[in-house]
Chains A and B, each alone.
Chain A
Amino acid sequence: MSNDIKPNSGTSPENGKEFEKSGEVQKSTTGQSFQDSSSDNETGQEKKTPDWLVDAIPDEKTSDNVAEKSLMQDFQEDVEESADDQSDREVEEKDLPEPVKGEREEDTIEVQAGPLVGVEGVLPVELDPFFIHEPVRRSIKLQVTKTQETQALLLDQMIKGEIESQPEVTQSKAVSNNILRIGIAIFLLVSILLPLSTRLPVTVTPPVSRDSVSANQLIESISDGATVLLTVDYEPGLSAEMDAALASVVDRMMMKDFYLVLVSTVPTGPVQAERLLVLLNQRGGYQYESSENYTNLGYIPGGPIGLLNFAEAPRQVMPYDLDGNAVWYSPPMQTISSISDFNLVVVATENPDRARSWVEQVQPKLGNTPIIMVVSRQAEPLVRPYYGSEPSQIQGLVSGFGGGAFYLSSNAQAGSSSMYWSSINLALIAGGLLMLIGAVMYTGKSLITRKPE
């Protein structure tokens, strides 16, 4: 029970008169009112007890605790009811004795704990003299250092700048960008289509690529009918460059009647490989058939882990071909029990990470079997160290369209690499020219618009 209130009013027979007037305990406020009501005798009090309080009078037969509890509940309910009844309260104000009238509101409190929580106008038990003191005087002036003041000023200025609306210039910029974009596209389009339409070779032969020469020499040194592991590890998005570069190498291998075992660590790789072989069959007049001339083992899942697994146990990791046939018992594959049994490994990829995975996970297990990389020009700078190092980790490198074109020309053949060579060269020159013009323009513009400090 909280000590914030004095719950004696409801149970005390002395203040029965006061209850009759007010009808609620909380409105018998000061000691003066108690003194007035204390003169009544017990008999008179019983008669004047209101009906609603009759039940609250303790029964002598019941125990003190039970009586007190039930009375407290009733007391609380009554207090809540009376707090809402404003009209009764106004009447009561008139009936109060003169000395009490001014004091009742000031001396009451709002109960913070106990069963009367939230009820206003309840008498406190006693005033605590320790809490009565003069209020502490605090300065309302903000105490900041000079630096803090400056920083606050700066922040204020910055925020002001953000709030202020800027004049819109985006519209004109967007229009000029569109025009620029379309203009550049037309310029590049013309530069590509011009050699095709006029059949005028801009550059007759691709530049000499020593890497392609060594790859060619390596392939030529391998006897006809050898078994070659061919990895088609590039995405369809870069198939234009990769197909052209790889086609020149695979075309030569098909001429030499190599048995090709196709794998890929890219899900779309197997179908890319099939497509390439169909293309070369049409172009070169070959009759390369699945299982007779080549086997497509499909997709090696698991990235570098899968690759390592395949390098260690190719038969167990890839037991079936794309059609679900068990292929390792067919005549050309019978002799292959480990990856070093292949006569050559050719990896075609546009991704330097995949190329690195092949070098790191597979090449150490190849033994004397050479490995050739056919890579995109974008991957070539990162793959070259493996080729150029001494001892070299890869034995041949055909890089991009140029490498493929040179490979074809060195074998006195013509293919897609030779076909597009002029167009690509002119487009590269045109693109380079555009970049140069752009750089000069923007440098000039920035020099002109630069404000003197």
Chain B
Amino acid sequence: MSVFDLNNLDLLGAILSFGLTLIILSFIFGDNLLFRFAIHVFVGVTAGYVAVMTWYNVLLPEIVVPLIGGSQAERFYALLVLVLSSFLFIKAFPRLSGWGNPVVAYLVGVGTATVIGGAVLGTLFPQVLASINLFDIPGLFEKSSPVWMQISNAVVILVGTISVLIFFHFGARSNHGSHPERAAWISAVACIGQIFISITFGVLFAGVYIASMTAFAERMTFTANFILLLFRP
């Protein structure tokens, strides 16, 4: 495939992509005008796209269409949403910002309830149950992996969970007016928790590193292929 096989739009896209990639990579030589220009372009394009998407995907179908052609109930609902949204909008004006407080309170309340409910029922309880199930002795023999491996796995998870929880326990006592200190056994367990936390951060960093390197490799591959495409007959 050569550059002449591309249609105009694809070619334009490829040239823009190639140019912007090089401009972003120019940051290797330090901050410069072109780099800042590219950053502004990205921010502007994203903001514009999000605005258009919000209009066509949210405001138009949720408010405008029901208001114009909806049933009585739909119109009433859309009008209510519009009025409440307006209250939220006028929070931008300091004199009238108080009008938006009930709407914000409603949003925060519902949001908090949703997130907490989801976290408790969707993460906390199932994960606690899963941790308990690790020590389900009859269940251990039903699985294909060796029992000792399952038990050691369960012990590591249990020790990790407890020690990390204890690491975040900051209670301390003062004896005879001395400087308050953690109990010795809490300090010892917290040290183990610290090791688990360090390993977790290391793993997270490795993930971020791999993801970044993948993006870099993809861009470099694209750049190399585009240059080859230009010189291909």
Contacts and interface: CB of A to CB of B under 8 A. Distances in A.
B4 interface: no
A189 B118 CA distance: 44
A416 B214 CA distance: 11
Contact of A304 (B115, B139, B203): B115
Nearest to A402: B210
Interface in A362-388: 363-364, 376-382, 385
B89 interface: no
Report whether over half of chain A's contact residues are helix, strand or loop; otherwise say mixed: helix
A270 interface: yes
A241 B212 CA distance: 9
Interface in B177-203: 200, 203
Interface residues of A, number: 60
B209 interface: yes
Interface string A9-49: 00000000000000000000000000000000000000000
Contacts of B57: 270, 298-299, 301, 322
Report whether over half of chain B's contact residues are helix, strand or loop; otherwise say mixed: helix
B210 A377 contact: yes
Contacts of B56: 298, 322, 324
Given A196-B221, A391-B130, A241 B214 contact: yes
A244 B214 CA distance: 10
A420 B213 CA distance: 11
B39 interface: no
5 contacts: A185-B28, A240-B217, A267-B49, A356-B122, A363-B122
B220 A182 contact: no
A389 interface: yes
Nearest to B118: A360
A377 B209 CA distance: 9
B50 interface: yes
B115 A423 contact: no
A390 B123 CA distance: 13
A233 B221 CA distance: 25
A308 B49 contact: no
B111 interface: yes
A192 B216 CA distance: 9
Contacts of B207: 376-381, 400
A324 to B, nearest CB: 7
Interface string A424-450: 100110010000000000000000000
A416 B123 CA distance: 34
Contacts of A303: 111
Contacts of B134: 390
Nearest to A236: B46
Nearest to A298: B57
Interface of B: 25, 28-30, 46, 49-50, 53-54, 56-58, 60-61, 110-111, 114-115, 118-119, 121-123, 126-127, 130, 133-134, 139, 200, 203-204, 206-211, 213-221, 224
Contacts of A185: 25, 28
A320 interface: yes
A397 interface: no
A240 B219 contact: yes
A290 interface: no
Given A298-B56, A378-B207, 12 more contacts: A178-B30, A189-B220, A299-B53, A299-B57, A308-B114, A356-B122, A361-B114, A378-B208, A390-B139, A391-B130, A423-B217, A424-B217
A401 B53 contact: no
A289 B115 CA distance: 37
Given A357-B118, A423-B221, A378 B127 contact: no
A67 interface: no
Chain A CB within 10 A, most for which of B30, B111, B119, B213: B213
A419 interface: yes
A359 interface: yes
A364 B54 contact: no
Contact of B210 (A196, A299, A378): A378
Interface in A182-228: 182, 185, 188-189, 192-193, 196-197
Contact of A193 (B114, B123, B220): B220
Interface in A138-179: 178
A129 interface: no
Contact of A420 (B127, B210, B211, B214): B214
Contacts of B111: 303-305
Given A381-B203, A389-B127, A364 B121 contact: yes
Contacts of A267: 49-50, 53-54
A129 B217 CA distance: 95
B211 A320 contact: no
Contact of A308 (B118, B203, B215, B224): B118
Nearest to B113: A305
Interface string A280-324: 000000000000000000110101110010000000000110101
Nearest to A432: B209
A181 interface: yes
A420 B224 CA distance: 12
A237 interface: yes
B18 to A, nearest CB: 15
Nearest to B200: A381
A381 B204 contact: yes
Contacts of B216: 188, 192, 427
A268 interface: yes
Contact of B114 (A305, A322, A416, A427): A305
Contacts of B200: 381
A324 B209 contact: no
B216 to A, nearest CB: 7
B126 A393 contact: yes
B46 A268 contact: yes
A255 interface: no
A391 B125 CA distance: 12
B130 A301 contact: no
